[in-house]
A and B are shown apart, each in its own frame.
Chain A
Amino acid sequence: MRFPGSTGSSKENRHALVMGIVLVILSLFLFRLLSIQILDNEYSELAQQNAIRRVDAYAPRGIIFDRNGHKIVVNRPIYDLMVVPSELPKPLDTLELASLIRISPLELSKRLIKAKNYSLFRPSLLHAQIRVEDFAPIQERLHDFSGIYAETRTVRTYLYPYAAHLLGYVGEASPELIEKSNGEYRPGDYVGVSGLEKTYENYLKGKRGVQYRYVDVRNREVGRYKNGVFDSLPIPGEDLHLGLDIELQVYAEKLMANKRGSVVAIEPSTGEILTMVSAPGYDPTLLVGNVRGHNYRKLQQDPLNPLFNRPLQAMYPPGSIVKSLQALVGQELNLIHPETRFPCGGGYAIAGHTVKCTHKHVALNLEESIQHSCNPYYCYVFKTVVDQNHGRRPREGYQIWYEYMKKFNLGRKCEVDLPNERKGIIPSPNYYDKIYGKNRWKSSTIISLAIGQGEFGITPLQMAHTMAIFANKGYYHRPHLVRSIGVTGQKKMKYREKFHIPIKPDNFRVVQDAMQKVVDAGTATAYGKIDSIIVCGKTGTAQNPQGKDHAVFVCFAPRENPRIAIAVLVENAGFGGVWAAPVASLMIEKYLKNSTKRHDLEQRLLKSRILPEGTDTIPTPTL
């Protein structure tokens, strides 16, 4: 072959051959396209006639059990109708379709237009959350409406119409969450909004799967695409096993019927919450499915504020129950001992006003002071603690007292496994510095703290938690609801941790003696005492500037190897011994002995109504 340079005779031939190769390849492509796009229907059939439908397989959320293995929250299937507008029959009988799914023809055409605007070829939601019983007739007729198909999902079912506040509810994922989640959540997905559903969302939600199905021209699903090799099964959410005793919960909610307030019961040895009542409550089923919005608004407008989660969010002055704490601190600091006596005289007079006592006591010792809830006694104790350096540096004394309160988780969150817990209020020394000026305040300025009043706020959860610490003589686990998660069966690390309060068990013993007498022969005798069970308790009255005082009773039982610590708060019920103590007492009996013989007491509580005037009475529950 001759050298074919730029001037060679074969230059044109070579150019032509290169172009020829290009042409051959491009023509080959063109024929291939002609074959698969026009002549051969195999592929277009695969895509159109035997449409492949992608159906999301939603993961059922984890099931919630109580401590005895009773199911509390389960799932129930529902159906979402989806529409692919391009696959709809032409003409479409909109009247018939509307009547089939029970919406107005106008609403139907609105939804269809919305779907078309979104995409002709991609599925849109046509009608959400059809119950199984309503779906059967729809399913029978679905083959007349090609392009419409159902996706199965599950919604929550609550087996008890109680415990709504702690269980919480699920709602549709918000656009912000979807945006943030990086594909984890899609429009229409459910997400825990409150309560345990929110705290344990990551465990409960599971993982969505997907199924590809062949659908024939008559809108029938004829099988799985490629025998399901691309399908992925949904992974159900992990189950939660609670420390909650659902029967005790139900019992407590019934006892609290037609009252406002809280009940919190904790197993002292583990910190597991046995009961957590916020009264008035509501049926959690009200917030399931497409009625949620409507019901939520109704609950919001209720003057009794049933959505307010009182055990975690309501703060009350602790009243007399703080006296037991004072007794501990005073002893631990060696400032008082069991035989220390302070005069009562019916009141404790300080600059200008008097802290009154309920009775005019003789000079009581420590045990008697708790038993009879003597106010002046604890003003002296508080003064002794705060002014321990001969009144020269009250800030330091108060700092010590304040630190002890913090150790009991007062003024500090218990870190329970529920959202929106409040930490309560105990003013810090800095706070008083700001209000009164540095070195311008002393024990007498803040004496109301001594008897649990003034700027002192604690939640019912903190009350019960304090009782658990008393029962344990100084140690605790953070209070929590979930005792084991999923297959691992573990609880969260932070709830396995054990904490110790730097107070000697002996000092607890003295206070326990006194609290036992409170129930056996003191302020809570009438309704608190139970045969054959030693209960230690303390009554309290939480001051309420808006109206009648709130009744408080805290206790634990039995004294040896305590199994339950309870705080009961009944709003506007006055003295703690009358309304709060019997609730706690009946619950202890129910929990430890499974039944009560005190049916009269039971009936009195069930029928009583302690609510502000002008609010509706809820029908009396039966046991």
Chain B
Amino acid sequence: MTGMREQKSVFQFIDKPLLWTYIALTLIGWIAIYAAVYNPQHQNLWDIQQNYGKQMIWILSSWLIMMILLSVHPRVYHHSGPLVYLVTMALGLTVAFLGREVNGARAWFEIGSFKLQPAEFMKLSTAMMVGYFFANQPIRMDRFSSQIMAGVWLFIPATLLLLQKDTGSALVYASFILVYYREGLSVNYLIYGLAIGLLSVLTLWLSMKTMWMVIPVLLVLYIVLAADSRKAFFNGIKLAVPAMALVSGVGYAFDHILLEHQKQRILVLLGKVDDLRGAGYNVHQSLIAIGSGGFWGKGFLQGTQTKFDFVPAQSTDFIFCTIAEEYGFWGSTVLLALFGFLLYRIFLIAERQPSAFGRVYGYSVGCIIFIHITINIGMTLGLLPVIGIPLPMISYGGSSLWSFTAMIAILLRLDTGRMLGIR
């Protein structure tokens, strides 16, 4: 722990733009939750029976957490990655078997009325672990062995989350590809990633059997039309074989691994099923709510779509919907800009860290927040399938707010340490 003098300087050198953006987002979140669960029969702002009352407690407690984490010496963060990682992964394993099942996912510990979701803290610990790994190992991300090792840290939490049937949270770890890219992974991997994504979408859209026919036909055409058929044959095979494998894998996964409701969400998104009652219902209602917001929005507490409970999970996964309906294009833009600025600030701070730990950790935090924003808003806007993960700092929920707060607090502390010349 640091002394009083240093404590004072922590706040002197803290990155205020990031701090203020964070605080602004938590408060915007609270207002949105209040509007989402607003009920004219319960107008007490501090009713802790209501989500907004609870969220206020979460916000105040997360500010406290921020203060505490800011007063810890940065050295602690540099070295605690493995321990924190081990503890949270153990929690994740335990919850997969002993946790309480909510909406099909066994992801919560319940202590009285208090619910804790280890998945949220696993993100934080993975960021710290990956940072520790890069700071203490001779890593070269252009080497296969390093890539494998880097992948292990993600594979463990992702597996545990799939075990908890929490697909959304597992997907978050895909964002580390950007962290690794920053640390030297070839840009080709991003391109592969994109290609894999496109091919998967095509497979689901056209069906696996169609793709099995399309790929060989394309291969034959390529070979026939190419100037150097021999060379084209080898190149083509090199592309076509992994592509066929991927298509088969995706097809198999869709048929045998995904749960019925997940399949349904994907089919609806691809426009293959017009099911406005089931999977498409939420998104359709979300779009009506957002669309009806217009430019200026309907104003605080005046959302109509919310009144009818058309939009589900309004205070959690679909919270963006409430903001877009009540504050319109204008309000949504401000929120997106705030998120953009937050990420800009985080990556900027990450870049200016003198230590590999600080930089990698900062990138991890940025990427985790970024993928949350992408998946959550993408889903709300009907661009991505319905995957239930929170909108950072905005969605209702104590675990996620605490976790995002801790991520940002630690980054702020590392950055202040840099300014104070502490490493």
Chain A residues in the interface with B (C-beta under 8 A): 1, 3-6, 8, 11, 14-15, 17-19, 21-23, 25-26, 28-30, 32-34, 36-38, 40, 42-44, 46-48, 52, 54, 118-122, 178-179, 187, 212, 226, 229-230
Contacts and interface: CB of A to CB of B under 8 A. Distances in A.
B273 to A, nearest CB: 14
Contacts of B310: 52
Contact of A121 (B298, B356, B367): B298
B129 interface: no
B131 interface: no
B44 interface: no
A4 B359 CA distance: 13
A30 B140 contact: no
Contacts of A17: 181, 187
Contacts of A15: 182, 347, 351
Interface in B259-280: 276-277
Given A29-B378, A33-B290, A52-B308, 6 more contacts: A15-B347, A22-B344, A25-B373, A29-B336, A33-B332, A121-B307
Contact of A18 (B182, B289, B359): B182
Interface in B153-193: 178, 181-184, 186-187
11 contacts: A17-B181, A19-B347, A22-B347, A33-B290, A33-B381, A34-B329, A36-B291, A38-B295, A42-B291, A47-B289, A121-B304
Which 9 A-B residue pairings sit nearest by Cβ, starting from the closest? A43-B291, A47-B292, A121-B304, A37-B329, A36-B291, A229-B277, A44-B291, A32-B381, A54-B308
B181 A26 contact: no
Contact of B324 (A1, A18, A37): A37
Interface in B371-423: 373-374, 377-378, 381, 383
A26 B332 CA distance: 11
Interface of B: 40-41, 140, 142, 178, 181-184, 186-187, 276-277, 281, 287-295, 298, 301-305, 307-308, 310, 324, 328-329, 332-333, 336, 339-340, 343-344, 347, 351, 356, 359, 363, 366-367, 370, 373-374, 377-378, 381, 383
* Chain B interface SS verdict (over half): helix
B200 to A, nearest CB: 18
Contacts of B339: 26
B184 A8 contact: yes
A25 B328 CA distance: 19
A26 B289 contact: no
A552 to B, nearest CB: 52
A226 B304 contact: no
Given A15-B351, A18-B181, A37 B40 contact: no
Given A15-B347, A25-B374, A29-B381, A43 B290 contact: yes
A44 B294 contact: yes
A30 B302 CA distance: 23
A52 B305 CA distance: 9
* Chain A interface SS verdict (over half): helix
Contact of B142 (A1, A23, A26): A1
A53 to B, nearest CB: 9
B277 A48 contact: no
Contacts of B351: 11, 15
Nearest to B298: A121
A477 to B, nearest CB: 44
Given A26-B339, A47-B304, A178 B289 contact: no
A43 B178 contact: no
A226 B274 CA distance: 12
A21 B178 contact: yes
B144 to A, nearest CB: 14
A46 B288 contact: yes
A278 to B, nearest CB: 38
Contact of A46 (B184, B277, B291, B302): B291
B291 A226 contact: no
A213 to B, nearest CB: 12
Give the most central of B184, B187, B366: most A CB within 10 Å. Answer: B184
B347 A37 contact: no
B277 A38 contact: no
Contacts of A4: 183-184
Contacts of A29: 336, 377-378, 381, 383
B150 to A, nearest CB: 14
Give the most central of B294, B366, B378: most A CB within 10 Å. Answer: B294
A8 B195 CA distance: 27
Given A1-B186, A226-B276, A119 B292 contact: no
